Chain A
């Protein structure tokens, strides 16, 4: 019989200890974690960014990633969107009794790979096991801390009339990849989650100089919700062009079938930025050189009309409001 996670693995006793020592420490091997003290102790200089997020995606494995990769990338990206250089992460696992040990190892290994790619260290963690039915296989909470370089001032309220709106690539891939695996709704699809750490891309963008006013990763609620947040926080009008939005064919097809609008479907490896018009083209060139920015495009601009609203010019030449997502389009996608 295959090894499974038992309640005792979260008891704090011998099994817990063995699990951590044999399976986790070798993967994340670093001086802070290896001490197994109650807290990781480290020094950081300057302005810090600190974030937390919980991951409850269902199913935990999906094309292009899994809950572990998502937990690391999501936290890395939340720090990156403030212009911070992500440094240290915590990982809290809530495991439903009966999860296969091999599945847990697979998740932990993809966390290791993601952390390695993002050059962050997982320095503290926690493992709890709950009764069958007390969780849905595996939930992960992760927090992260990063250092904001001097002179960086990024906020959703910084959009100014005349600014350009930049998107780092195609939209909707993550949400569609996850839902294509959902029980009762499985359909065959070539769509893969875009789940990726964006800190290098952001660092390259920031290194080019000033001019990035707002930046966010359009996860739950999709691009539409993020643009609405910018419009509302900055009290500015945003106009985007349907024609310039990159949407992969498989995503478009699945959206048609399911009645979704790709504008509202989640992404996990994309960023949208509002930048000064004069640096927009240069930033796009820089982004095109990074593997996570190959399809970057200018998708719109900040306009004096309709402050607080996002309006899209359709391909046919009409315009329509792009509102916040009301209700839930896809349940539990991250």
Chain B
């Protein structure tokens, strides 16, 4: 099993590209909702290969980027508490919040550690029984089940100094919020691959039914994405939008039942606060009452202060696909991966970072 080379085959790719060019007559405005797709599209130069009828837009799919400043401020306030060890995925530590970043707090002496999984965070909790270990729970339905599992494990192993700051978000409600806002006209959606591996394809069914928009769940390799675009174009041309899976090796229509059950056991749905979008009803996850003793928000007293958005940064507009990174006055000039102003330039899955790094279409 290789599963990499096969999905990067140039000959197959060229055939798919030719078919898309041949098929596409109507305007097809497509949005991807996953940061992984944003990066892959930029990295493989997919936009350059598509006919002028097809426009690819990037949506709010990077978990780091969509974390609201107010929520980041909470993480920073927690990090400043004595006796607290913050554990987090790497990209988070560089994101500028209202007045500081986790990186800065770390430099000032805060104990902030990058982990690759929640299991590492649990281990740190076990090794430091006199400290409180807080894991910053970010991400969509992809990461939430692993965080749920860590809480159950903490309970089982009686690790009583482990906490989670749940900033988790769920995907379908924000798609609905974006479509309801009417700010961006879409004809098709490149549905996320990993999120769909957990939730399956059914939660997207309202999109073609209520909004008449085509949906195809895609993998992350160039051939996956080209196939997805081809299927979306076919739906758009036929005027019969539906939900299809172009990523059958990863996604089943019913999703991953075990992961869904885990998530449901530990978390309940709440309102989610999204950068650039605001509060979206039913789009967040918080710990159920039964697991409150692991909830960082409920177990620490901290004062994050009033959130402030970075001046001139249009990450919010970019996350809603109202603007693209080159539309931003700060892009490349003031804001770059070494000195990021907004989160979309920090995260490896952010739109600005992807545009910056791969310089879409340069030197063609």
Residue of B45, B360, B361 most packed against chain A (CB within 10 A): B45
Contact A320 B362 (CB under 8 A): yes
Contact B14 A317 (CB under 8 A): yes
Contact A256 B338 (CB under 8 A): no
A164 at the B interface (CB under 8 A): no
Within 8 Å by CB of B10, from A184, A253, A316, lies A316
Contact code string B219-237 (vs A, CB < 8 Å = 1, else 0): 0001000100000000000
Contact A320 B42 (CB under 8 A): yes
Expressed in whole angstroms, the Cα–Cα distance for A148 and B270 within the complex equals 69
Contact B8 A319 (CB under 8 A): no
Expressed in whole angstroms, the Cα–Cα distance for A326 and B353 within the complex equals 11
Within 8 Å by CB of B13, from A185, A309, A315, lies A315
A207 at the B interface (CB under 8 A): no
- Known contacts A256-B4, A315-B8, A318-B44, A305 near B363 by CB under 8 Å: yes
Least CB distance, B75 to chain A, in whole angstroms: 20
A306 at the B interface (CB under 8 A): yes
Contact B363 A319 (CB under 8 A): yes
Contact code string A245-272 (vs B, CB < 8 Å = 1, else 0): 0000100110010010100000000000
Within 8 Å by CB of B362, from A185, A256, A306, A316, lies A306
Name the residue on A nearest B357 (C-beta): A323
- Known contacts A252-B4, A253-B4, A320 near B116 by CB under 8 Å: no
Interface footprint category on A: 20 to 34
Within 8 Å by CB of A184, from B14, B116, B363, lies B116
Residues of A290-331 whose CB lies within 8 A of B? 305-306, 309, 311, 314-321, 323, 326-327
Inside 8 A of B47's CB, which chain A residues have their CB? 318
Residues of B286-339 whose CB lies within 8 A of A? 336-338
B249 at the A interface (CB under 8 A): no
Contact code string B69-112 (vs A, CB < 8 Å = 1, else 0): 00000000000000000000000000000000000000000000
Name the residue on A nearest B359 (C-beta): A321
Residues of B163-212 whose CB lies within 8 A of A? none
Contact A326 B362 (CB under 8 A): no
Least CB distance, A251 to chain B, in whole angstroms: 11
B159 at the A interface (CB under 8 A): no
Contact A316 B363 (CB under 8 A): no
Inside 8 A of A239's CB, which chain B residues have their CB? 363
Least CB distance, B17 to chain A, in whole angstroms: 7
Inside 8 A of A253's CB, which chain B residues have their CB? 2, 4
A146 at the B interface (CB under 8 A): no
B48 at the A interface (CB under 8 A): yes
Least CB distance, B270 to chain A, in whole angstroms: 30
Residue of B222, B226, B336, B359 most packed against chain A (CB within 10 A): B359
Expressed in whole angstroms, the Cα–Cα distance for A249 and B336 within the complex equals 32
Expressed in whole angstroms, the Cα–Cα distance for A321 and B360 within the complex equals 7
Expressed in whole angstroms, the Cα–Cα distance for A121 and B123 within the complex equals 46
Expressed in whole angstroms, the Cα–Cα distance for A252 and B120 within the complex equals 25
Within 8 Å by CB of A316, from B120, B222, B360, lies B222
Inside 8 A of B49's CB, which chain A residues have their CB? 316-318
A30 at the B interface (CB under 8 A): no
A175 at the B interface (CB under 8 A): no
B348 at the A interface (CB under 8 A): yes
Least CB distance, A312 to chain B, in whole angstroms: 9
Expressed in whole angstroms, the Cα–Cα distance for A110 and B45 within the complex equals 44
Contact B48 A319 (CB under 8 A): yes
Inside 8 A of A184's CB, which chain B residues have their CB? 115-116, 120
Contact B4 A316 (CB under 8 A): no
- Known contacts A184-B120, A185-B116, A319 near B10 by CB under 8 Å: no
Contact B364 A319 (CB under 8 A): yes
Expressed in whole angstroms, the Cα–Cα distance for A318 and B45 within the complex equals 5
Inside 8 A of B358's CB, which chain A residues have their CB? 320-321
- Known contacts A306-B362, A311-B363, A320-B362, A326 near B348 by CB under 8 Å: no
Residues of A206-220 whose CB lies within 8 A of B? none
- Known contacts A185-B116, A243-B10, A253-B4, A314 near B44 by CB under 8 Å: yes
Contact B45 A326 (CB under 8 A): no
Contact B337 A327 (CB under 8 A): yes
Given contacts A318-B49, A319-B362, A323-B356, 8 further A-B contacts (CB under 8 A): A185-B116, A249-B5, A314-B45, A316-B17, A318-B44, A320-B358, A326-B337, A327-B337
Cβ-closest 8 pairs across A and B: A318-B45, A321-B359, A311-B363, A326-B337, A318-B48, A315-B10, A320-B358, A316-B13
Residues of B within 8 A of A (CB): 2, 4-5, 8-10, 13-14, 17, 42-49, 115-116, 120, 222, 226, 336-338, 348, 356-364
Q: Can you give 7 contacting A-B residue pairs, CB < 8 Å?
A: A184-B115, A239-B363, A306-B362, A309-B362, A317-B13, A321-B359, A327-B338
